[in-house]
Amino acid sequence: MSSATQDPQATTAPSDRLAEMLDSSARIEELSSAQEEEIQEADDDSEYETSSDSDDHHDFHAVWGSKLKPNLPFYFASPGPLRDSLQTSTSVAQDKTMDEVLQLMTGNGQTILDVNAYGLPHLLKPKHAAFLRTILGKYPPPFQVMDASRPWLLYWALNGLRTLGVDVSEYKQRCIDTFTPLQNPEGGFGGGHGHLSHAAASYAATLSLALVGGLDMIDRRAMWHWLGQVKNPSGGFRMAVNGEEDVRGAYCCMTIHTLLRLPLTLPPSSPARAAGLESFTSNLGSWISSCQTYEGGLGGAPDNEAHGAYAFCVLACLCLLDSPDKAIPTYLNTKSLTHWLVSRQASPEGGFSGRTNKLVDACYSHWVGGCWSLLESALSIPAEKSLWHREGLVRYTLTCSQAKKGGLRDKPSTRPDGYHTNYSLAGLSAAQYIYTYKSDTETAETESEALTSAFNWSFERPTTQQMKQWCFDTKDMVEPVHPVFVLPFDVVEEARAKFAGKVGF
Ligand code: FPP
Ligand code: K
């Protein structure tokens, strides 16, 4: 271990940068632009030119303009009727975004000419795949600030590629080589070389390794020990030893725990055990309960503002603990949660915001869009009585999130990046498939030592009628994405089969 890892400052620096990266789309956009410049240098006929796409504007009108409008319901074609006259920086940003969205929704400003049967741009699969492959390539110097996020870059790219139906087995060895120096002897993964282990880095590393069939390189016993170090006497989890405690920690740690089929008993060295807790699940549900706010949504920690990214962490974490119908209503007020979650879907945008009075962002296509199958399963709500508007999310994704040259983006005026590409595609999958929980008593009986509920999800493909209702063609379909693990179903099944009956080491 380098001396850097012994320095307590070194524990906060990488995790702060990671938090900053996950919190700031501005930073990601800055980096995407650096990445674009690099690609331009490498590729002279420049698929990725930075100039405006507006050259095609008139052609588009001539060919497609009139075709789009008749299919567009009024609530996607104009601003809503309720206006607040108070002007703030957010209301100005919102008006600008709404104008850009309306230009695209109505077809007036659309430059992607390849449209589906409903007049929406097709999902540009080969272009998005090419974009994601660049993320697995060489980086220009400005990406130095992403040094603590190596595992995320791999996860977003690999998971995004698989969601597009692209085989990623060719990346197996490189992925293992990347993670070998990041795995620490005390368990878990750091985000970069010499960094202490971190819950988010360990989550993204574990998922990336699952994606390429490389889970064998994980020291499961050491991981179990490290997870015991971040389990808190409160019941929640810290992001790192002595790090912040929030619901990302709970979701990331319990996902790793479940996927690797680790023992539920806390290791003897765990501070939580010293405080009287016995299991990784002890007090977890009740700690999570305390993160529900007066709005009905979920904050990252008790007393924090409700936010979509944390809502997903909470619901998915509860679905690791038990079936959704048991875990979710036991620990959350589903009525106020439903009200808050419904309020995240914007009109005319169709996409989701992360919190009250804020703008849509395609990453919430997953963080919020991914909540629906979990909550609707908990409440036994069938697809035909769904509480959310799948068509709206499909419209936002295909019409507003796609960059013409490849990659998906937060909103029309931003640049694509791996984070938004992966989570837009995961959100599209939530809109296109029906994910349901199928209780399976067989695993529950034989694996009482481990958590197995999350392995009981299945998916249904949309019917022709549903595809018509939700406005996409077969060509626009992504692969099913597991609603709890956010991985392809076959990857989850492979991990389940690999460690079945192997609780312990
Ligand atoms: C606010 O950013 C965003 C947050 C406070 C949460 C960010 C967390 C995640 C994206 C994911 C965490 C999950 C895991 C599994 C690590 P903002 O103010 O820029 O955006 P906003 O206006 O949309 O709220
Ligand atoms: K944002």
The pLDDT tens digits for 94-143 are: 999 999 999 999 999 999 999 999 999 999 999 999 999 999 999 999 99
pLDDT at residue 11, as a whole number: 35
Which residues make beta-bridge pairs with 457?
437
Rounded to whole angstroms, how far apart are CA atoms 384 and 444? 30
Rounded to whole angstroms, how far apart are CA atoms 176 and 218? 10
- Does 358 participate in catalysis according to the annotation? yes
Helices (H), 136-246: 150-163, 172-179, 199-212, 220-230
103 Cβ contact list (under 8 Å, min separation 6): 109, 110, 412
**Looking at ligand 1, which residue's alpha carbon is closest to its atom 5?**
23
CA 49 / ligand 2 centre spacing (Å): 24
CA 250 / ligand 2 centre spacing (Å): 22
CA 25 / ligand 2 centre spacing (Å): 6
Rounded to whole angstroms, how far apart are CA atoms 82 and 341? 20
Question: In Å, how far are 82, 340, 487, 504 from 37, measured between CA atoms?
Answer: 42, 40, 30, 48
Mean pLDDT by 10 residues, the chain (505 residues): 35 37 41 49 34 37 46 88 90 96 94 94 98 95 95 98 98 98 98 98 99 98 98 98 98 98 96 97 98 98 98 99 98 98 97 98 98 98 96 98 98 98 99 92 61 97 98 98 98 96 78
Q: Indicate which atom in ligand 1 lies nearest the CA of residue 358.
A: 22
For this complex, say whether ipTM is above 0.90: yes
pLDDT at residue 394, as a whole number: 98
Which ligand gives the minimal distance to the CA of 310? Answer: 1
Q: Indicate which atom in ligand 1 lies nearest the CA of residue 353.
A: 23
Best residue among 15, 16, 18, 22 to mutate for probing ligand 1's pocket (most ligand atoms within 8 Å of CB) is: 22
pLDDT at residue 214, as a whole number: 98
pLDDT at residue 33, as a whole number: 53
Which ligand gives the minimal distance to the CA of 89? Answer: 1
Q: What is the pTM of this model?
A: 0.89
pLDDT at residue 446, as a whole number: 56
